[in-house]
Amino acid sequence: MKLLENKTALVTGAARGIGRSIVLAYAAQGADIAFTDLKVDDDAESLLEELKAMGVKAKAYASDASSFEGSEKLVEEVLNDFGKVDILVNNAGITRDQLLMRMSEQDWDLVIKVNLKSVFNMTKAIQRSMLRQRSGSIINMSSVVGVSGNAGQSNYSASKAGLIGFTKSIAQELGSRSIRCNAIAPGFIETAMTSKLAEDVREEWIKNIPLRRAGKPEDVANVAVFLASDLSSYVTGQVIQVCGGMNT
Ligand code: NAP
């Protein structure tokens, strides 16, 4: 028996990077998959083909998680198409790194809107159906810098720290209905988001990681499988750091 058989997962920002790995890991465990990205581009189409070849039901949706109305409409469509959502992964996120001295109001507002408000939008939109079915697992993608801060990322760190407060609050609000809410805080993971870093910055990060390597999207996806599955049925309100021991 696979870990996620008979479950439906909805994952935001999944055409690339960590979200894509999560979707593939969920499908490998038997879950049906609804995933979003800003556009259904070539990456999203190729992911869809891969998922269908794995024998699960899958559909890609173009949706901006930072839009309240867009999130409501998306959840309505997904519920119509799949009948239910058991697992919500709020993965979509962006960076606009800059020292506070040079950070614009627009870069502050955009990062908070895409990384934090999106989680409010999607969780609020899904909660009614999860309350009705009296079960659900919500997984929010935070970051180690949401736990410990990082110079040059005050907007991003604030959004990811805010998301931890949201996660713990929702775990307390919805726990009595068997709806769990946890956060994953990845460290330095090789994706498009981190490929912008200069080689010397990259080497400096890796020197400070006890496991002496950058993480792979699959390292995060494995923890997302655990949190989505019944293996974690007594785990809620927690932040699991997937960082090679960096934040120890
Ligand atoms: P990524 O490769 O940039 O992927 C993020 C995906 O989200 C992209 O496909 C992007 O679409 C999509 N997206 C952006 N804004 C969106 C929106 N408003 N609505 C829907 N989708 C949107 O990033 P990643 O490294 O996989 O990161 C995934 C999550 O992990 C993020 O929340 C990130 O903050 C977090 N994280 C990453 C790391 C790391 O080291 N990589 C570490 C800690 C936490 P486009 O490409 O079309 O813009």
Alpha helix segments (H runs only) across 113-239: 118-133, 144-148, 154-174, 192-195, 199-207, 217-228
The proportion of the chain whose per-residue pLDDT surpasses 90, expressed as a percent, equals 94
User: Which domains, and CATH codes, for the chain?
Assistant: 8-242 (3.40.50.720)
**What residues have CB less than 8 Å from 203, skipping those under 6 apart?**
none
How many alpha carbons lie under 13 Å from residue 133 in its C-beta half-sphere? 17
Whole-angstrom distance, CA of residue 110 vs CA of residue 106: 6
Which residues does a 6 A CB cutoff place in the pocket of ligand 1? 12-13, 15-19, 36-38, 64-66, 91-94, 114, 118, 141, 143, 186, 188-189, 191-194
CA of 139 to the centre of ligand 1 (A): 14
Q: Is the pLDDT of residue 197 over 90?
A: no
Residues in the chain: 248
pLDDT tens for residues 38-79? 999 999 999 999 999 999 999 999 999 999 999 999 999 999
Round to whole Å and give the CA distance between 5 and 174. Answer: 23
Q: Which residues are catalytically annotated?
A: 156
Output the CA 193–ligand 1 centroid distance in Å: 7
Q: Give the closest residue (by CA) to ligand 1 atom 45.
A: 38
* Residue range 105-149, pLDDT digits in tens: 999 999 999 999 999 999 999 999 999 999 999 999 999 999 999
Ligand 1 pocket test target in 48, 193, 202, 213 with most atoms within 8 Å of CB = 193
Distance (Å) from CA 72 to ligand 1 centroid: 20
pLDDT at 127: 98
Q: Kindly report whether the global pTM for this prediction surpasses the value 0.95.
A: yes
Q: What is the pLDDT of residue 231?
A: 98
Q: Over 90: is that where the pLDDT of 193 sits?
A: no
The strand ranges marked E within the chain are 8-11, 32-37, 58-62, 87-90, 136-141, 179-186, 239-242
pLDDT for the residue 228: 99
Q: Which atom of ligand 1 is nearest to the CA of 156?
A: 34
Statement: residue 36 has pLDDT above 90: yes
* Nearest-atom index, ligand 1, CA of 220: 30
23 — pLDDT class (breaks 50, 70, 90): very high
Report the nearest-CA residue for atom 21 of ligand 1: 13
Pocket test residue of 11, 12, 18, 67 for ligand 1, highest count of atoms within 8 A of CB: 18
Instruction: State how far the Cα of 243 lies from the Cα of 160, in Å rounded to an integer.
Output: 15
Average pLDDT taken over every residue of the chain: 97
